[in-house]
Amino acid sequence: MNNRNVIRNFFNRLAPDWMDEDELAPVRDEIVRRSALSENRIILDAGCGKGVMVPHLLSTNPSRLLELDLSDEMIRLNRLRWEYDSRISFLCDDILTADLPVPDAVFIFNAYPHLLDKTALAKKLSDLLPADGTVVIAHSSGKDFINQIHHDSGACEMISIPLKSPLEEYEPYGKYFSLTDWEDSDRLYYMKLTRK
């Protein structure tokens, strides 16, 4: 079984019990606010899970929000929660191989360690986004906490790569993107990349 199927199966099993962590909603609000998206944009929410970022991203009044996840169970549950909004579409696919519309911004929230080929991801995002397009990579905790959770679970070794500092994670993106904002603190991991 390849890593893609292992990751899909892992998150399909977890999906029914996956929690939104409502107490972290202010951090998610800050991530979106800090990203400074203007209205009427097309946003790709990559690794969207059950849609925890949907209400925060909708606060920017996008013209379209595409929810993308490798796990069909996460997408199914996401659709049940948010299908009432006609601006939202749902796609179960791998970001590296999916045929996607051109977005103005890509958000990767609480999913980045599970995107194993960072070089291929940087290339895909550079091909996908227009000049001045935005990529936001964020977590509602710092890298040390995220890495500890993945280490302690044991099951995550095949499906994740430890998170590095924003400056280290920026390396494969450097020829395509500018790193315009970043933070790694106890409460937040944040990178904002702008397409050159």
Residue ranges per structural domain of the chain: 3-195
Residues in the chain: 196
Report the alpha-carbon angle 180-185-187, nearest 5. Answer: 110
- Between residues 15 and 74, the one the model is more confident about: 74
- The pLDDT tens digits for 78-132 are 999 999 999 999 999 999 999 999 999 999 999 999 899 999 999 999 999 999 9
- The pLDDT tens digits for 172-187 are 999 999 999 999 999 9
pLDDT over 80 at 150, yes or no: no
Task: Look up residue 51 and give its two tokens.
Answer: 């849609």
Average pLDDT over residues 47-68: 97
The reply to whether CATH 1.20.120.430 applies to domain 3-195 is: no
Residue 12's pLDDT band, with cuts at 50, 70 and 90, is low
**Residue type at position 51:** G
Residue 145's pLDDT band, with cuts at 50, 70 and 90, is confident
- What's the rounded Cα separation, in Å, for the pair 184 and 190? 6
Task: Look up residue 122 and give its two tokens.
Answer: 């940087």
| C-beta separation of 64 from 89 below 8 A | yes
pTM over 0.85: yes
* SS3 per-residue string spanning the chain: CCHHHHHHHHHHHHHHHCCCCHHHHHHHHHHHHHHCCCCCCEEEEECCCCCCCHHHHHCCCCCEEEEEECCHHHHHHHHHHHCCCCCEEEEECCCCCCCCCCCCEEEEECCHHHCCCHHHHHHHHHHHCCCCCEEEEEECCCHHHHHHHHHHHCHHHHCCCCCCCHHHHCHHHCCCEEEEEEEECCCCEEEEEEEC
The share of the chain scoring above pLDDT 70, in percent, equals 93
